[in-house]
Homo-oligomer: A and B are copies of this chain.
Amino acid sequence: MQSAPNPKNRLAVVLLSGGLDSATALAAARRDGFQAITLAIDYGQRHRVELDAAALVSRQLGAIEHRLVTLDLRAIGGSALTADIAVPKNRSEKAIGDGVPITYVPARNLIFLSIATGLAEVVGARDVFVGVNAIDYSGYPDCRPEFIESFARTANLGTRAGTDAIAGKGGGFSIRSPLAALGKAEIIRLGMKLGVDYSLTTSCYDPRSDSSPIPIACGTCDSCQLRRRGFAEAGVPDPTRYS
C-alpha cells in the first residue's frame, strides 16, 4: 500500500494540519510525483493558528489547491484540544510516552480520513496521504498501522469509487502514511532533504500569537517537547520561536 509506482501527475489528497509531520508527508507525496490537493480541517481546535500555517505550507510545497473544511468538534468535546480542559505542560518523557494523552481527540483521524476520502472521491484522487508516525502511535490509537489498513478497507467498501474498484472497474483508495516507520528526528531529516521550510510549521498545542503569521510556541506542552527533541536529535537548528 505504501509503494508508489511512478504516479507522475496523479492526484493525491494530503491531510495537512500545519504541523511538522503532515508538512513532511506532503513533501513525500510531491517527491513521489503526486499533484497534491491539501486539506485542512477547522475543528474548533484551540490552536487554530495552525490553519494559517497549513495554508503557507501548502503553497511552499507546491500543492495545486488548498481546501479548508469546517467541522465543529466542540459540539462533541472530550479533549484538551477542543474543550475547556488544560493542556498538560512540562510532562516527563516517560509520562508523554505512557498511554493515551488528554490531548487525544476522540476518533479524530477516523473522522479526518473519512472527510479526506470524500474529497478524494469528488476530485478523482485515489491516494490519501496522512502524516501519522511511530511517535504518535505510542499514544494515539488512530495513528497505528493496523488502524490505517483497516480504514483503507472500510473506505473502499463505503464509497462508489471503492466498490467500483472491488468490482474490477478502476483503482480503489490507498491510504499512504510515508512517515509510518519514522521517529521525529528521522522525519525532520527527511523533510530537510525534501525542502520543507519548518519555520512555517507549528506544533504547539497552546501557542501565543503576535503580528507574525506563525505563532510563538509554549515550548513545554508534549508536542513542543517532542518537536524540540526531534530537532536536537536530528542535529538541525530548530527554527521555532519559543516563548
Binding site for B on A (CB under 8 A): 67-73, 75-78, 100, 104-111, 114-115, 117-119, 121-122, 141-142, 144, 146-147, 150-151, 153-155, 157-160, 162-163
Contact check, A106 vs B118: say whether CB atoms are below 8 A apart: yes
Contact among B72, B104, B119, B151 with A154 in the assembled complex (CB-CB below 8 Å): B151
Contacting residues, chain B, for A108 (C-beta < 8 A): 118
- With known contacts A70-B71, A150-B157, A159-B142, A110–B118 Cβ distance under 8 A: yes
Of all chain B residues, which has the CB nearest A121? B106
Q: Tell me if A141 and B157 are in contact (CB < 8 A).
A: yes
Flag if A76 contacts B69 (CB, 8 Å): yes
Q: Give the complex CA separation of A150 and B73 in angstroms.
A: 24
Kindly list the 8 A-B residue pairs having the minimum CB-CB distance in the complex, ordered from nearest: A78-B122, A107-B118, A106-B121, A142-B158, A147-B157, A106-B118, A150-B154, A111-B114
Q: A71-B71, A146-B157, A150-B153 are in contact. Are A117 and B121 (CB under 8 A)?
A: no
- Please name the residue on chain B nearest to A67 by beta carbon: B75
Contacting residues, chain B, for A146 (C-beta < 8 A): 157
A53 CB to nearest B CB, Å: 19
Question: Are A158's CB and B151's CB within 8 A?
Answer: yes
Across-interface contacts of A75 in B (CB, < 8 A)? 67-70
**Contacts of A110 on B, CB cut-off 8 Å?**
114, 117-118, 154-155, 158-159
Q: Determine the residue in chain B with the shortest Cβ distance to A141.
A: B163
Check B147 against A158 for contact (C-beta < 8 Å): yes
- CB closest residue in chain B, given A162: B141
A150 CB contacts on chain B under 8 angstroms: 150, 153-154, 157-158
With CB as the reference atom, state the residue of chain B lying closest to A107.
B118
Let me know if B117 and A158 touch, CB within 8 A: no
Q: How far is the CA of A142 from the CA of B107 in the complex (A)?
A: 19
